[in-house]
Amino acid sequence: VASPTGLVLPIETIVRELDRLGVDTLVDAAHAPGMVPISVRELGAAYWTGNGHKWLCGPKGGGALVVREDRRSGVVPLVTSHGRNDPASRPRLWKEFDWQGTIDPTAILSLPAAIRLVGGLDPGGWPELMAANRSLALEARRRLSTALGLEPIAPDSMVGAMAAVPLAGLATDAEAVSLARTLAVADRVEVAVAPWPVPAARSSPEAPATAVLLRVSAQRYNDGSDLDALEGALQLRLHVAPATPRP
């Protein structure tokens, strides 16, 4: 899941095709756990990382690194772990990665509880929650695209629980930061507003952004009233017409 656009990339195809060319993939799946169904084993990427503090609602700092069996011997941490010389027969990667320095493992140890708790909120568990979040993200995208008079940036099949739309009339990094701040502080709407491409992806530090993207995230605590609030705030700040006329 790409961060600035929120788009879900066809990762199975990407991994398979690169594999065919002899290229290993490291899948940055920071947003994937809890947003889209995943089977790391079936995906078969050489390396995969995912976060627990995004859609799984775990504490910050918990995540996972998965290394395919045939690549494990080449992977070592920058800081080795307590227990590296543990004579017990635990996998070498666990011994070397699990307890580095004085790291606080609370976030990692809390993840199973977070997964159980959030997955227990709906009768249908995680699949139901993920589907509901996706529906709300799609609704947000429809409403914002209509209000802004724009075509969606990608097909519905590439939407998970986030949706980004370009904002006409804004172009600079400073304008993006300023709008995000106004929406958060004055309108109490937390939404990502970021220049596109991100600075690190531009040809030089001086190269300007070509667009500013507004990215909505839909989690279980959101509903249509949050979209109303966002639409109202955009009307106020950008003079955008509402997608759905309100009384």
Ligand X SMILES: Cc1ncc(COP(=O)(O)O)c(C=O)c1O
Residue with Cβ nearer ligand X (3 or 145):
3
Helix, strand and coil in the chain, % to nearest 5: 40, 15, 45
Give burial (CB, 10 Å; 0-12/13-18/19+) of 76. exposed
CB of 61 to ligand X, least distance (A): 8
Using omega within 30 degrees of 0 as the cis cutoff, is the peptide bond preceding 197 cis? yes
- Candidate list 16, 19, 28, 145; residue touching ligand X; CB under 6 A: 28
Candidates 55, 67, 185, 30; CA nearest to 115 is 55
- Candidate list 7, 31, 215, 231; residue touching ligand X; CB under 6 A: 31
> Does residue 3 touch ligand X according to CB under 6 A?
yes
What's the N-to-C CA distance of the chain in angstroms? Answer: 37
Nearest-5° angle of CA 65, CA 39, CA 61?
30
Q: Which stretch binds ligand X (CB under 6 A): 27-35, 89-97, 114-122, 193-201?
A: 27-35
Find out whether 126 and 34 touch, Cβ atoms under 8 Å. Answer: yes
Residue with Cβ nearer ligand X (121 or 184):
184
**In this structure, what token pair is assigned to residue 241?**
């017409």
Collect all residues with Cβ–Cβ distance below 8 Å to 235 and sequence separation of at least 6. 241, 242
> Does residue 192 touch ligand X according to CB under 6 A?
no
Residue with Cβ nearer ligand X (28 or 175):
28
CB of 234 to ligand X, least distance (A): 23
Q: Which stretch binds ligand X (CB under 6 A): 11-19, 23-31, 113-121, 219-227?
A: 23-31
Report which residue's Cβ sits closest to ligand X. 3
Residue with Cβ nearer ligand X (54 or 134):
54
CB of 3 to ligand X, least distance (A): 3
# residues contacting ligand X (CB under 6 A): 6
**In this structure, what token pair is assigned to residue 212?**
């500013």
> Does residue 19 touch ligand X according to CB under 6 A?
no
- Candidate list 30, 40, 108, 158; residue touching ligand X; CB under 6 A: 30
Residue with Cβ nearer ligand X (31 or 141):
31
> Does residue 154 touch ligand X according to CB under 6 A?
no
Please list every residue from 63 through 82 that binds ligand X, using CB under 6 A: 63
Collect all residues with Cβ–Cβ distance below 8 Å to 59 and sequence separation of at least 6. 52, 53, 106, 107, 110, 114
DSSP string, 64-113: EEEE-GGGGGG---SSPBTTTT--S---HHHHHHTTBTT--THHHHHHHH
- Candidate list 5, 25, 51, 222; residue touching ligand X; CB under 6 A: 51
> Does residue 38 touch ligand X according to CB under 6 A?
no
Q: Which chain residues interact with ligand X by CB under 6 A? A: 3, 28, 30-31, 51, 63
